[in-house]
Structure formats: structure tokens, C-alpha cells
């Protein structure tokens, strides 16, 4: 737990605490899932804050466990790459986006049910029918972090598409990009092929959709790429950029013989290229796992190279 990055760790703690609170208050006859879960927007108990709170509530231990396991497995990596602020912003956007898609899906389901059961039902009758069906509509409550978690899964697949994962019960590793694609297809087929399911498949897809749109926006607007990145990460990015500029800059003695060194031009260039490759490797390791993951020798090489 001490090596889990801050936002991922706090999200894990908050979800577990809210699940424990749900159990404690439930023994007193108070259903926190009804208070903080996301109700259908035409239901009596719908509140706008539920778009944020529903992702911290869970229907049962198994629901909580698998969501938190996925958050720990993929969230740690994504947060180490992006930094805490950017990761938290992304997580919340995916969660809220998943909730919005779920509300739109529920509205479509409500409209289709009313059209099938009420002769002459039209769009203008929606509010009257919703008022008369408030008791039933109030039961349409969504809870769980799955939408946000699916967004994190998508981010991992887009950041490390070639990374191989061992997924039980598959006997062979599978690349992250194909793993994400399989999940999308399964969720889409499940959403289209099942009705009255207790699983919010469209919410899962909504979290991925909003995550994809946000990542595409960040990639198309590199000027905002430093958003949420820690000062240390920005420092190492600048260090790498400066190193690359110096390594490609022509020597003041270009075309002439450097009498300060005894090695040949071929040996000199080969040594410089090897040094640059080593610095690039160390900087990539910092971005993936943080500065503390470096050995003392790697730290020394990093700072020697930045002089």
C-alpha cells in the first residue's frame, strides 16, 4: 500500500470506507446506495451530485473487489505516467461520462416501454407518465466505479498498446490493445443482447468513450500536455529535451580535428550515442515508475548527463 501512488491509494480507501459505511448504516435501516447512487433523472430522488457520488458506492463485496483490483492493477501505472492531478481529472471525467450515458440509456428504455404500453403515447406525455411512475423509476439506481475503471483500462491500453498481459484463463499473454478491444466488443454485445440486466453495460462503454475523447483531445493539443504533471516529471522531460538538443547540435569544431580527445571519431560518436541511449532509458523508467525506482548508479548517470 505504501508504494501505491496517492490518488489511486485514496480512491481505494474511499471506496472501501463507503462500502463499510453502507453496511453499517444498512443495519440501521438507512440505504446509502439510495442516497448517493445515481437515480434516473426523471425519478423523484434524483440529485445532480449523484453523478459524482455514485462511482464510490457498490452493490456487494464482489462488485467492490473486482473494481478495486482493476483500479490497483491499472491505476497505479497510469497515475505514475500522468501524475496525480491529471489522473484524478481523467478518472472523474470517465465516471461522470459513464453516468451521463447511463441516464441517456435509461431515458431511451423508459420511452420505449411507455410507447409499447400506452396507446397514443407521445414525447409531450413523458413528464406526466414519469410522475405517475415515480415509484418504479426510483428503483432505477446505478452504483459502482466500473465506468471510471473501464476508462482507466482504456488509458492503459492506449499508453502501452504492446504490453503483454496474462489474463486468466487464457494460456498465453495478450497485448493490452487487444485486451481492451475484446472488452469493448464483449460489453457492446452484452448491452445489445440483454434486457433488464443489473449490469450497466452502456455505462462501461460510456466511461471508455469519454476517456477516449479526453485522451484524443490531449494528444491533439500538446500545449496542454503538462497539465497535472508533477514538477519532477516536468524537470525530467525538460532534461531529456535539453540532452537531445545538445546531442544533435553540431560541434564548434565540426569538420576539424578535436585534439582534446585521443579516440577516433567513430569511437567518440559510438560512445556518445550509447550515453544518450542510456539516459533515454533512465528517463523513460522515471516516467513509468517514478524517480524512487532508480538505482544509485542510474541516479548518478542521470545527473552527470544533465550537467
Contact between residue 54 and residue 106 where contact means Cβ atoms under 8 Å apart: no
E runs forming strands in 127-189: 141-142, 164-165, 174-175
| Residue whose C-alpha cell is 497539465 | 227
Comparing 276 with 28, which gets the higher pLDDT? Answer: 28
Whole-angstrom distance, CA of residue 298 vs CA of residue 304: 10
Position 214 scores a pLDDT of 95
Average pLDDT, the chain: 82
Per-residue pLDDT for 143 more than 90? yes
Q: Which position has the grid cell 463499510?
A: 20
**What pLDDT does residue 75 have?**
94
The span from the CA of 224 to the CA of 237, in Å, is: 14
Domains of the chain, residue spans? 6-224, 231-249+261-305
Strand pairing class (164-165; 38-39):
unpaired
> What is the rounded CA–CA span in Å between residue 124 and residue 110?
14
Q: Where are the alpha helices (DSSP H) in 173-290?
A: 176-193, 201-220, 231-248, 265-289
Round to whole Å and give the CA distance between 208 and 78.
15
pLDDT at 253 over 60: no
pLDDT at 257: 46
In angstroms, the CA 68 to CA 54 distance is 15
Across 168-174, average pLDDT: 75
Contact 142, 47 (CB under 8 A): no
Strand, coil or helix: what is 38? strand
pLDDT for residue 194: 65
pLDDT at 17: 97
Tell me the backbone φ, ψ of residue 298, rounded to 5 degrees: -70, -40
pLDDT band at 21 (very low <50, low <70, confident <90, very high): very high
Secondary structure letter of residue 70 according to DSSP? H
- Rounded to an integer, the average pLDDT of 65-89 is 93
- CA–CA separation, 159 and 156 (whole Å): 5
At 161, list the grid cell.
498498446
Predicted local distance difference test score (pLDDT) of residue 121: 82
pLDDT confidence of residue 180: 87
Task: Say how many C-beta atoms besides its own lie within 10 A of residue 120's C-beta.
Answer: 6
Helix (H, G, I), strand (E, B) or coil at 216: helix
The 8-class DSSP code of residue 250 comes to P
Q: Is CATH 1.20.1540.10 the classification given to domain 6-224?
A: yes
The more confident residue out of 233 and 272 is 272
Question: pLDDT value at position 251?
Answer: 45
pTM score above 0.75: no
Q: Which of 17-21, 223-227, 281-285 has the highest mean pLDDT?
A: 17-21
Helix 176-193 × helix 201-220 angle, to 10°? 140
How confident is the model at residue 115, as a pLDDT? 86
Specify the pLDDT at position 232.
53
pLDDT in tens, 90-116: 999 999 999 999 999 999 888 888 888
Give the tens place of pLDDT for each residue, 187-198.
888 777 665 556
CA separation for the pair 145, 150 (Å, rounded): 9
Amino acid at each position: 500500500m505504501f508504494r501505491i501512488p496517492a490518488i489511486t491509494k485514496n480512491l481505494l480507501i474511499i471506496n472501501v470506507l463507503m462500502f463499510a459505511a453502507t453496511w453499517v448504516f444498512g443495519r440501521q435501516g438507512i440505504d446509502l446506495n439510495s442516497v448517493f447512487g445515481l437515480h434516473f433523472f426523471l425519478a423523484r430522488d434524483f440529485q445532480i451530485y449523484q453523478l459524482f457520488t455514485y462511482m464510490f458506492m457498490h452493490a456487494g463485496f464482489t462488485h467492490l473487489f473486482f473494481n478495486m483490483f482493476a483500479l490497483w492493477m491499472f491505476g497505479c501505472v497510469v497515475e505514475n505516467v500522468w501524475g496525480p492531478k491529471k489522473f484524478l481529472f481523467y478518472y472523474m471525467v470517465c465516471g461522470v461520462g459513464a453516468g451521463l450515458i447511463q441516464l441517456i440509456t435509461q431515458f431511451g428504455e423508459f420511452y420505449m416501454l411507455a410507447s409499447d404500453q400506452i396507446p397514443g403515447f407521445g414525447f409531450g406525455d413523458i413528464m406526466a407518465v414519469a410522475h405517475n411512475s415515480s415509484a418504479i423509476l426510483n428503483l432505477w439506481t446505478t452504483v459502482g466505479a466500473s465506468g471510471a475503471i473501464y476508462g482507466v483500462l482504456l488509458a492503459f491500453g492506449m499508453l502501452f498498446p504492446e504490453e503483454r498481459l496474462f489474463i486468466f484463463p487464457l494460456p498465453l499473454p495478450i497485448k493490452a490493445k487487444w485486451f481492451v478491444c475484446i472488452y469493448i466488443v464483449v460489453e457492446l454485445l452484452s448491452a445489445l443482447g440483454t434486457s433488464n440486466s443489473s449490469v450497466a453495460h452502456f455505462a462501461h462503454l460510456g466511461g471508455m468513450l469519454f476517456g477516449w475523447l479526453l485522451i484524443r483531445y490531449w494528444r491533439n493539443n500538446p500545449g496542454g500536455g503538462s497539465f497535472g504533471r508533477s514538477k519532477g516529471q516536468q524537470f525530467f522531460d525538460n532534461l531529456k529535451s535539453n540532452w537531445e538538443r545538445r546531442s544533435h547540435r553540431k560541434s564548434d569544431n565540426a569538420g576539424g580535428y578535436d585534439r582534446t580527445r585521443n579516440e577516433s571519431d567513430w569511437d567518440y560518436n559510438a560512445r556518445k550515442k550509447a550515453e544518450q541511449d542510456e539516459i533515454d532509458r533512465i528517463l523513460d523508467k522515471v516516467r513509468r515508475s517514478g524517480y524512487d525506482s532508480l538505482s544509485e548508479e542510474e541516479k548518478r548517470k542521470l545527473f552527470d548527463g544533465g550537467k
